[in-house]
Amino acid sequence: MQFKPIFESDGRPVLIAGPCSAETEEQVISAAHALKGQHIALFRAGIWKPRTRPGAFEGIGASGLSWLERVKTETGLPVTTEVATAQHVHDCLSHNIDVLWIGARTTVNPFSVQEIADALAGTDIPVIVKNPVNPDYKLWIGAIERLYKAGIRRIAAIHRGFSTYGDCKYRNLPRWQMAIDLMQEFPGLEVICDVSHICGRRDILAETAQKAYDLHFDGLMVEVHPDPDNAWSDAAQQITPIQFAQMISTLKRRQISSDDPSYLASMDSLRRQIDELDEEIIQLIARRMKLVRDIGYAKKDKNIAIYQPERWRALAEACRQRAEKSELSHEFVALFLEAIHQEGISQQEKIIIQN
């Protein structure tokens, strides 16, 4: 797939900002005027808001589209909003909305994405696709492919994290690698980080935004509201226009590389060492799996269950303690151990079912 850029950033990171929801005309216009001089590429506001549970504010509806038209007229800012149905698309096209985005709850449903793609056939309006709520890489790509097959070429992606259960620092786990994989597979695709939905809280927005810059995302989507504490949706993750300006001013955009000879020589040496260690790691994992298979044969001989909860808990705790001493994060060690454990179970299952 060959994508056309949505944004003309002139080397600057792309900034998309505005309130989570369009609540009143006054609120939308106030936010837009406050953001007018802050070099944002798009003013965002949700007109239709798919909510997790009934009873929550589900958006002002199509009547709010005229407010976005007024934003364009008064400030000159291009505008974007979320669409989830063919009717939403038609309403937006009739109100000259500049860019559409497909939300996470819609990306997860191929039927809904196809309905939107069909409604967009024959147009050239840019579309931004958020990742699905669950970490399914193929669903994300599939949504982009459906739009591409409908003739849309100006497509970008938004990484907004993935739903999780239980206590967590983030509202939605970033799982950065999935976005990185998307960048690597489609180098011409612009990828924006929605830090507001990843964080779910304003106190860690700046550090998460810097992380996105460090990973060379093309830009940020940030929810900005004139009075965040009294917002009708997602109040905890929104910031004021002044706070937005302050945050953006503190972020550092790093170079992708350098032509300094000493830097290049150092990188070459360090990467060769990493390559050698990676080979050793693969060999060590292979040796570990050989032992896992030997255990599998012993279990089969004595009709012993594959999964041993006490052993797994002890192993996980021992590894966690070693990780603390080695400056490795708990999240990384947990993911690594889970992958090793699942592969071990899979290896032993193949042995158990053999005749």
Domain-wise residue ranges, the chain = 14-250, 261-352
Q: Does residue 167 surpass a pLDDT of 80?
A: no
Q: Does residue 355 surpass a pLDDT of 70?
A: no
* Overall average pLDDT of the 188-209 stretch: 95
In this predicted structure, what is the pLDDT of residue 74? 95
Q: Taking every pair of C-alpha atoms in the chain, what is the biggest distance, in angstroms? A: 78
Identify the band that residue 255 occupies on the pLDDT scale cut at 50, 70 and 90. confident
Amino acid at position 9, single letter? S
Question: Quick one: what percent of the chain has pLDDT higher than 70?
Answer: 99
Identify the band that residue 157 occupies on the pLDDT scale cut at 50, 70 and 90. very high
Torsions phi, psi for 53 (to 5 deg): -130, 150
Torsions phi, psi for 124 (to 5 deg): -125, 25
Q: Does residue 321 surpass a pLDDT of 90?
A: no
- CATH architecture, range 261-352: Up-down Bundle (1.20)
Question: Domain 14-250 - what CATH class?
Answer: alpha beta
In this predicted structure, what is the pLDDT of residue 309? 85
C-alpha 128/C-alpha 58 separation (Å) is 21
Question: Quick one: what percent of the chain has pLDDT higher than 90?
Answer: 69
* Overall average pLDDT of the 119-143 stretch: 94
Q: Which residue has the higher pLDDT, 325 or 12?
A: 325
Q: Does residue 189 surpass a pLDDT of 80?
A: yes
In this predicted structure, what is the pLDDT of residue 211? 93
Two tokens, residue 301: 């001989």
In this predicted structure, what is the pLDDT of residue 164? 80
In this predicted structure, what is the pLDDT of residue 87? 96
pLDDT digits (tens, 9 = 90+) for 259-279: 888 888 999 899 999 999 999
In this predicted structure, what is the pLDDT of residue 261? 87
Residue with tokens 């989830």: 84
In this predicted structure, what is the pLDDT of residue 315? 84
C-alpha 86/C-alpha 118 separation (Å) is 8
Identify the band that residue 163 occupies on the pLDDT scale cut at 50, 70 and 90. confident
Identify the band that residue 11 occupies on the pLDDT scale cut at 50, 70 and 90. low
* Overall average pLDDT of the 327-337 stretch: 84
* Overall average pLDDT of the 289-293 stretch: 94
* Overall average pLDDT of the 15-27 stretch: 96
Going by C-alpha positions, the residue among 80, 84, 83 that lies closest to residue 69 is 80
Residues 215 and 176 sit within 8 Å (Cβ to Cβ): yes
pLDDT digits (tens, 9 = 90+) for 49-83: 887 777 777 788 999 999 999 999 999 999 999 99
Residues 287 and 340 sit within 8 Å (Cβ to Cβ): no
Residues paired with residue 101 on neighbouring β-strands, in sequence order: 82, 128
In this predicted structure, what is the pLDDT of residue 57? 79
What residue spans of 215-260 are helical by DSSP H?
A: 241-250
Q: How far is CA 122 from CA 2, 143, 153, 252, 332, in A?
A: 18, 18, 11, 40, 45
Q: Which residue has the higher pLDDT, 34 or 7?
A: 34
